Copies of this chain bind each other. A is one copy, B any other.
């Protein structure tokens, strides 16, 4: 195990009807809020009415910054920063899925900064302070509710980059599983893929022996698959929705990676190019990339992939390479059965685009220091996604 600091100060308020407590928790941080949300689905679902009633009951005045896209874009973040600064809000209240939360974090950091907010994404500056953030989660997937990171796309440069700093942990995240019951089957599947990918990136790219972290990951992946199967059979299964919601938070909150030393996000690196260049859901893109990347990586060291096959899919066999391949195939079958695309073509992306995608991905490979990933290597991985 490698040295690490683990400090996750977010308070989680979990359970049916906890959405009604958002006013109470936001009021601990001020009287004037910036309410950040997406394209209006929270109005149709009634969540907007619940949240605003709770804010009103707690004496909180709010301004609205709506229209966050599924892959949040920089121009919209900048508009939110401008509003937060000009109106001098005390607290940011984000209501939505990972995209809304990521944009809200970016606004929270940008509002208190002298520099342009994109500097935090390029690494030209680092957020030292941010407005307090209270979140109400409506989609269990990205883990943004319990971590200090976020991802935004610069539409001009086609860069999908990330921001990360301890000041960006939400103060309070309200996880009301009832709010996720209206998530349709396709996004339920994509969300599961996303959460699983968060776990497997570290699991497969670390070079450390970390038996405890391995068990955490394996148990979380099993639980995410089981609860997703239940949700797809019965979308209003509140117990399964609750399990999935809590599991997704733990899939990217620092637990599974604390102590594993250096690790990378190669699948996210490639997927970020897909969703920066095409109109594809992040989880759907990951379902395309992961089986390809795993088959490429297992060629170099099959051992961990064999462990994955044994423990997560209860597969047996003496040959690590065969076992690894069987485990990867099992995961790919599960992705497909859940309704996610598992090839570029299924995602509506032509194989001819592979060089362009790889060229885009190398920008992030450089930023993230993933030195093994030249354009040629990324192309090879993408060909395995056909």
Contacts and interface: CB of A to CB of B under 8 A. Distances in A.
Interface of A: 1-16, 18, 177, 209-212, 215-216, 218-220, 222-223, 226-227, 239, 242-243, 246-247, 250, 258-259
Contact of A14 (B4, B18, B220, B247): B4
9 contacts: A1-B246, A3-B14, A3-B18, A5-B11, A6-B14, A209-B239, A212-B219, A212-B247, A212-B250
Contact of A243 (B1, B11, B258): B1
A13 B222 CA distance: 29
Contact of A7 (B1, B12, B215): B12
B242 A1 contact: yes
B1 A212 contact: no
A8 B8 contact: yes
Given A14-B259, A211-B226, 9 more contacts: A1-B177, A1-B243, A6-B12, A9-B9, A211-B227, A212-B220, A215-B222, A215-B223, A216-B216
Contact of A215 (B6, B209, B220, B258): B220
A239 B1 contact: yes
Contacts of A11: 5-7
A107 to B, nearest CB: 24
B246 A259 contact: yes
A16 to B, nearest CB: 7
Nearest to A9: B9
Contacts of A218: 219
Contacts of A216: 216, 219
Nearest to A222: B215
Contacts of A259: 14, 242, 246
Contacts of A222: 215
A11 B223 CA distance: 27
A14 B223 contact: no
A226 B18 CA distance: 39
Contacts of A5: 11-14
Contacts of A250: 212
Contacts of A10: 7
Contacts of A13: 5
A276 to B, nearest CB: 33
A223 B212 CA distance: 6
A258 B14 contact: yes
A131 B4 CA distance: 26
Contacts of A215: 219-220, 222-223
A354 B223 CA distance: 42
Q: Which 10 A-B pairs have the closest CB atoms?
A: A3-B15, A215-B219, A7-B11, A6-B12, A1-B242, A212-B223, A9-B9, A219-B219, A212-B247, A4-B14
A6 B4 CA distance: 22
Contacts of A15: 1-4
A223 to B, nearest CB: 5
A18 B1 CA distance: 14
Contacts of A1: 14-15, 177, 239, 242-243, 246
Contacts of A242: 1, 259
Contacts of A220: 212, 215
A246 B8 CA distance: 15
A284 to B, nearest CB: 24
A1 B178 CA distance: 12
B246 A212 contact: yes
Nearest to A177: B1
A95 to B, nearest CB: 19
A5 B176 CA distance: 12
Given A216-B216, A218-B219, A219-B219, A211 B243 contact: yes
